[in-house]
Structure 1
Amino acid sequence: MGLGRLVNVGQGAHVVEQDLLAALNEGRVGGAVLDVLAHEPPSPNSPFLKHPRILLTPHIASDVQVEGGVAVIVENLRREREWTPFLNLVDPSRGYQI
């Protein structure tokens, strides 16, 4: 059995970000998909932006139709396995749109 993954689309204190980073770095958690962070937008030097086991989504979980959102996630997982560019990439250098 593989390592567990975390998907977080809810705001609140239920994810302790430093503990999540430690668990990812130590191999206790296999990966994380995060739609929200404690501080948004993240600073340019945020460890969440470039972590190889973290996929950030642009804080849109509540604005997406389930079928369309799932289709994009599934397609991007397929693209990851094939080493092809993801759909709808967020350019961190542009910051978050409000």
Structure 2
Amino acid sequence: MVMNKYTKHLIPAILAGVLTLYSTSVSAGNEQRSGQAGATELLINPWARSSGWGGINTASVSGLEATFMNVAGMAHTENTELIFSSTSWFSDINISAFGFSEIIR
């Protein structure tokens, strides 16, 4: 079968249009739980200094504590840094975090 230049471009365009129309009705997950976030425990800041400041030092945080708030602050690591943090949250929730960073020269 010989296709002319219009038919060669028309078939992929029609296919893309049909797929676009059907993709609007696709949803992921459970529809009754839409709008709910998963793994919200990952949003808790484990480091004491930046957490105690309430996050207002986001632009100036440097070193290993920058891993949670502003990853670009890790560029200011001057030596090897090692941090361990253990926090009691609410009444029976304990958060333990460990961090290690090394400057690469």
The higher radius of gyration belongs to 2
Question: More relative contact order in 1 or in 2 (CA 8 Å, sep 6+)?
Answer: 1
TM-score normalized by the length of structure 2: 0.21
More helix by share: 2
TM-score (norm 1): 0.22
